[in-house]
């Protein structure tokens, strides 16, 4: 029987879960797969047979005493409050599952502490790589504790400051997009959506992991480019003083984001992994406006996109006509094929193949392994 592969899946937004489903769907059908997450609803409707383990939701859990709350966090960790029953139950459930299922590989998407926990528990782990300023001791320790890292993006997007010895342990799947619907050409997409076939269209899109696209700057954009039609997809963030304009429409969640991206001349989007690759899949011209994330994740990804000439960026959301006109002019001059090249249609298949191959290689010949002639390795305390 093949060794099981288990995933720890963070439940913030939908990106981690969608990525896990895309990869797990490509595993061999006789590979046992399980998912440990505090967001089991994110996997509703997933067709592949997997085991779902519901973890406690530790976000917002209250530390029971002021004294415990005052204890400093050691630099080798990021989020380890003391006294939380929810945290103890989470770690216990993870360890029990890894032990009871004899998990061969634990894929962590994402948590430095959970990756370290796997190593302490003697379970091989792979950490999903994300951009950001992650050269702190906690991240480096977690990476070094893993048997490898999976980067769901093109190697050209790698950061210059990512250590060489860790790059050697990283598998780059190419740009992984979890959308699988067919990409229409621009004329077909506009006809399907009832949009003017000749008007310039700018689509601002955001996912569910943040507070939404700031709406106020888009009202300035609509006035700066009155001949363009501006459409927003997903949530928007209003401050309460905005004035609406006829060429700016809020559409919210739509059935097919792909159709709108294909219909657009320019896309304004955050630098989330799946969002970027959704735009890349339709070869759009991208204005990337990173949202705040821990460790500057989206900021560093946006920098990499701009460096490659795959996107343009402003240092902040323009608040004036000139700023928007300049940004739009730079976007119009982009070569959309550069962004398109960052999307890999077979990324999920390649990622799944690497994870399965790594699992099998790690456990190959286990029953035939003998102690070396030299002094046997012993586990000692300390």
DSSP H or E run through 352: helix 347-363
For position 367, what pLDDT does the model report? Answer: 61
Position 210 scores a pLDDT of: 67
Q: Which of 25, 22, 6 is nearest to 14 (CA)?
A: 22
| Residue-level pLDDT at 209 | 65
Q: Please report the pLDDT score of residue 79 as a whole number.
A: 87
The closest alpha carbon to 128, from 319, 282, 292, 274, belongs to: 274
- Taking residues 281-306, what's their average pLDDT? 95
pLDDT digits (tens, 9 = 90+) for 162-183: 999 999 999 999 999 999 899 9
Residue 380 predicted with pLDDT over 60:
no
Tell me phi and psi for residue 344, to 5 degrees: -120, 110
Per-residue pLDDT of 14-57, as tens digits, reads 889 999 999 999 999 999 999 999 999 999 999 999 999 999 99
Tokens at residue 262, please? 């294909």
Q: Which whole-number Å values give the CA distances from 173 to 128, 283, 351, in the listed order?
A: 11, 19, 5
Whole-number average pLDDT of the chain: 93
Whether the pLDDT of residue 151 is over 70: the answer is yes
Return the higher-pLDDT residue of 68 and 380: 68
**What pTM was estimated for this model as a whole?**
0.92
Residue 311 backbone dihedrals phi, psi, to 5 degrees: -160, 165
What are the CB-based long-range contacts (under 8 Å, 24+) for 17-20? 17/42, 17/43, 18/42, 18/178, 18/274, 19/109, 19/128, 19/152, 19/176, 19/178, 19/273, 19/274, 20/107, 20/109
Handedness of CA 36, 42, 44, 48 (dihedral sign): negative
Residue 364 predicted with pLDDT over 80:
yes
pLDDT at 322: 98
Q: What is the pLDDT of residues 197-256, one digit of tens each?
A: 999 999 999 876 667 899 999 999 999 999 999 999 999 999 989 999 999 999 999 999
The number of residues in the chain equals: 382
Give SS3 for 353.
helix
Contact 234, 207 (CB under 8 A): yes
* Mean pLDDT computed over 75-80: 91
Kind and range of the H or E element at 9?
strand 5-9
Could you tell me the residue ranges of all domains in the chain?
5-176+345-368, 186-340
Reply yes or no on whether the pLDDT at 378 is more than 80: no
Task: Supply 293's token pair.
Answer: 């994330």
Would you place residue 370 in the very low, low, confident or very high pLDDT band (cuts 50, 70, 90)? Answer: very low
Nearest to 333 by CA among 269, 278, 287: 287
Other beta carbons within 10 angstroms of residue 152's beta carbon come to: 28
Mean local confidence (pLDDT), 280-287: 94
H/E run at residue 263: helix 257-263
Q: Which pLDDT does position 205 carry in this prediction?
A: 94
Kindly indicate the confidence band of residue 283, based on its pLDDT and cuts at 50, 70 and 90.
Answer: confident
Determine the CATH number of domain 5-176+345-368.
3.40.50.2000
Examine domains 5-176+345-368 and 186-340 and report if their fold is the same: yes
Question: What architecture (CATH level 2) is domain 186-340?
Answer: 3-Layer(aba) Sandwich (3.40)
């Amino acid at each position: 029987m093949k060794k099981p592969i288990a995933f720890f899946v963070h439940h913030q937004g939908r990106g981690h879960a969608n990525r896990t489903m895309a990869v797990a769907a490509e595993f061999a059908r006789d590979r046992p797969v399980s998912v440990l997450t505090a967001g089991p609803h994110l996997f509703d409707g997933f067709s592949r047979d997997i085991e779902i383990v519901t973890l406690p939701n530790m976000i917002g859990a209250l530390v029971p005493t002021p004294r415990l709350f005052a204890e400093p966090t050691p630099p080798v960790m990021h989020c380890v409050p003391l006294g939380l029953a929810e945290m103890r139950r989470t770690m216990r459930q993870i360890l029990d599952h890894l032990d009871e299922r004899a998990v061969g590989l634990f894929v962590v998407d994402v948590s430095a502490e959970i990756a370290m926990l796997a190593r302490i528990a003697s379970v091989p782990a792979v950490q999903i790589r994300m951009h950001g300023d992650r050269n702190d001791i906690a991240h480096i320790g977690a990476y070094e504790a893993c048997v490898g890292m999976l980067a769901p993006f093109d190697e050209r997007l790698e950061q210059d400051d990512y250590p060489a010895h860790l790059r050697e342990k990283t598998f780059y799947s190419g740009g992984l997009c979890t959308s699988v619907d067919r990409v229409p050409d621009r004329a077909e997409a506009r006809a399907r959506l009832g949009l003017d076939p000749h008007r310039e269209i700018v689509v601002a899109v955001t996912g569910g992991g943040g507070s939404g696209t700031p709406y106020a700057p888009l009202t300035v954009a609509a006035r700066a480019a009155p001949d363009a039609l501006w459409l927003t997809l997903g949530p928007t963030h209003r401050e309460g003083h905005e004035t609406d304009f006829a060429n700016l429409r809020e559409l919210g969640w739509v059935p097919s984001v792909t159709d709108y991206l294909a219909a657009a001349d320019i896309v304004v989007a955050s630098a989330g992994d799946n969002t970027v690759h959704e735009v890349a899949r339709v070869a759009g011209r991208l204005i990337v406006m990173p949202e705040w994330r821990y460790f500057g994740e989206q900021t560093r990804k946006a920098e990499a996109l701009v460096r490659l000439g795959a996107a343009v960026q402003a240092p902040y959301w323009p608040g004036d006509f000139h700023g928007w006109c300049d940004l739009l002019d730079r976007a119009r001059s982009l070569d959309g094929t550069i962004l398109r090249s960052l999307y890999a249609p077979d990324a999920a298949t390649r990622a799944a193949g690497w994870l399965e191959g790594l699992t099998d290689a790690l456990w190959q010949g286990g029953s035939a392994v003998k102690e070396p002639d030299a002094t046997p390795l012993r586990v000692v305390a300390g």
